[in-house]
Structure 1
Amino acid sequence: MALPVRRVVSLVPSLTEAVAATAPELLVGATDWCSHPGGLDVARVGGTKNPDPGRVAALAPGLVLANEEENRAADLAALRAAGLNVLVTQVRTLDQGFTELARALHACGLARPGWLADAEDAWRDVSPAVPGLRAVVPIWRRPWMVLGRDTFAGDVLARLGVVGVHAGHPERYPRIPVGELNACGAELVVLPDEPYRFTADDGPEAFPGLPCALLSGRHLTWYGPSLTEAPAVLAAALRAAVR
């Protein structure tokens, strides 16, 4: 019989928050980008793209939580080569987010927490905030990159009524010049504050004449406790942009 997990290192900000909200005593390490919950007092092991395998191994975790998109395969291979147990989530839809959260927490020896049920309830009967509105969703500039097909954030926005102009693109995060973005017939520009930190002064000026919705990246791209309040937070920001 496998021994219960007593020590967890998370390389994914949303999973860090999920474990910390459920069983904080298990969490012994996280990345420099793990910003929630506030005041998180655990060892830092580097970034999501460049964790230090030696620092992770020194924490003697029974489980390392990772994600196939946020973390590099080479880093995960190095952790496994060090004898560590690594669980890798794959999340490209909201439903997958709920399933993978339950799987990751179960691997930590935890029952389904109340906040996960609350998050599922919050999204179950969500009403579109901007029904049928065509939008481009940049996630980076220099170069400009947007949400394409098969992304978690794209699915979240679709449930709120946003029609992604590039949702059918063959790439998941295509690079598209800003001139083409302005000429694609979008009615709205959605600008999250991560991974690129778009702000009122950095982003909207590139799309003259188009309303811009500045969204919380944590509520748009994280799968964790933030999903409980995400429908209301994101819907309010979308509606405010098109009033």
Structure 2
Amino acid sequence: MRVVSLVPSLTEAVAVTLPGVLVGATDWCTHPADLDVARVGGSKYPDLARVRALRPDVVLCNVEENRREDADALTAAGVPVRVTYPRTVPQALDELAALLTELGADREPDWLTAARRAWAAPPAPTGPHRAVVPVWRRPWVVLGRDTFAGDVLHRLGVRNLYADHPDRYPRPDLAELRGRRPDLVVLPDEPYRFTADDGPDAFPGVPCALLSGRHLTWYGPSLAEAPEVLGAQLARRLTHPG
């Protein structure tokens, strides 16, 4: 089996579960740290000729991470594509189990079993919090309805104020975000790298929690530690004076 992954979290899941199966990954696939495979460009704009040259048996994609036109182009070229699209934690766990079995795993990996256990009894929520969750700035983009990260936060006691919005990733302006009167602003460091100096400044007087994007949005081995990591980060949320 020869696998090319265009999804960072799936790259990690395959690399630690089935060493030697992965032959290519994107430039953004940073885990595991010692990953030594051919690089095929970015998640959004991969070098498809380089992907095909690796002669993969399957290319792993995700509805949100990758462009449909790239998946269609690979399929048209005769390259099998496996697309994932989890929107809840249980869906992610089950999709991972099914995918790894398809790729040759003869049993569920220990990290996946640990993730199921961790999410069966996540840390007691510090909330409930009424939150907005920006994932981009310039322009502002926030989590809306039916997202994996939104489900993660819901299970940790964070109520997304845009969870009922018709769009999955609304683009409200800053005045609207402030007008929702959140009691918490969640600022992950992926895909936009919010920091203590870039993000909280837009929400004076509102507690801001800087969260690990890898634990909030990735579905792979990081799921096993995500409840503990995110729960601790929410518990010690940063308050920006203003």
What band does the TM-score fall into relative to the shorter chain? Answer: over 0.9
Q: Distance in 2 between matches of 1:242 and 1:30?
A: 35
Question: In 2 relative to 1, CA 242–140 (structure 1 residues): closer, same or farther, beyond 3 Å?
Answer: closer
Name the aligned partner's letter for residue 197 of structure 1: R
Question: Offset of 1:217 from its aligned partner?
Answer: 0.3
Determine what percentage of the aligned residue pairs are the same residue: 64
Deviation at residue 40 of structure 1 after TM alignment: 1.1
Q: Deviations over 1:129-161 (max 9, x none)?
A: 223110100000111010000000000000000
Give the AA of the match of 1:94: V
**Does the CA contact (< 8 Å) of 1:133 and 1:161 recur in 2?**
yes
Residues 8 and 64 of structure 1 are in contact (CA less than 8 Å); yes or no, is this contact kept in structure 2?
yes
After superposition, give the CA deviation of every residue in 1:32-80 in whole Å (9 maximum; x if it has no partner).
1111010211101111111111101110111111111111110001111
The residue number in structure 2 matching 1:114 is 110
Cα shift at 1:185: 1.7
**1:198 partnered with 2:186:** no
Instruction: Identify the match of residue 129 of structure 2 among 116, 128, 133.
Output: 133
Look up the equivalent residue of 2:58 and give its one-letter code: L
Residue pair 1:65, 1:104 contacting (<8 A) in 2 also = no
Tell me if 1:169 matches 2:143: no
One-letter amino acid of the structure 1 residue matched with residue 127 of structure 2? P
Conserved 8 A contact 1:29-1:43: yes
The 5 A counterparts of 1:190-229 are 190-229=186-225
TM-score normalized with structure 1 length: 0.95
Deviation at 1:114, TM superposition (A): 1.2
Distance 2:236 2:162 in 1: 23
Separation in 2, partners of 1:91, 1:196 = 21
User: Does 1:77 find its partner at 2:75?
Assistant: no
State the TM-score, normalized to the length of structure 2.
0.96
SS in structure 1 at match of 2:210? strand
Q: SS at the partner of 2:61?
A: strand
Specify the alignment match of 1:36 in structure 2.
31
Q: Which runs of 5+ in 2 are unaligned?
A: none
- Structure 2 counterpart of 1:90, one-letter code: Y
1:242 Cα shift?
Answer: 6.8
Aligned with residue 54 of structure 1, among 49, 62, 76: 49
Counterpart pick for 2:82 among 83, 87, 95: 87
Greater Cα shift, 217-226 or 112-121: 112-121
Provide structure 1 residue ranges, at least 5 long, that are not aligned to the other structure.
Answer: 1-5
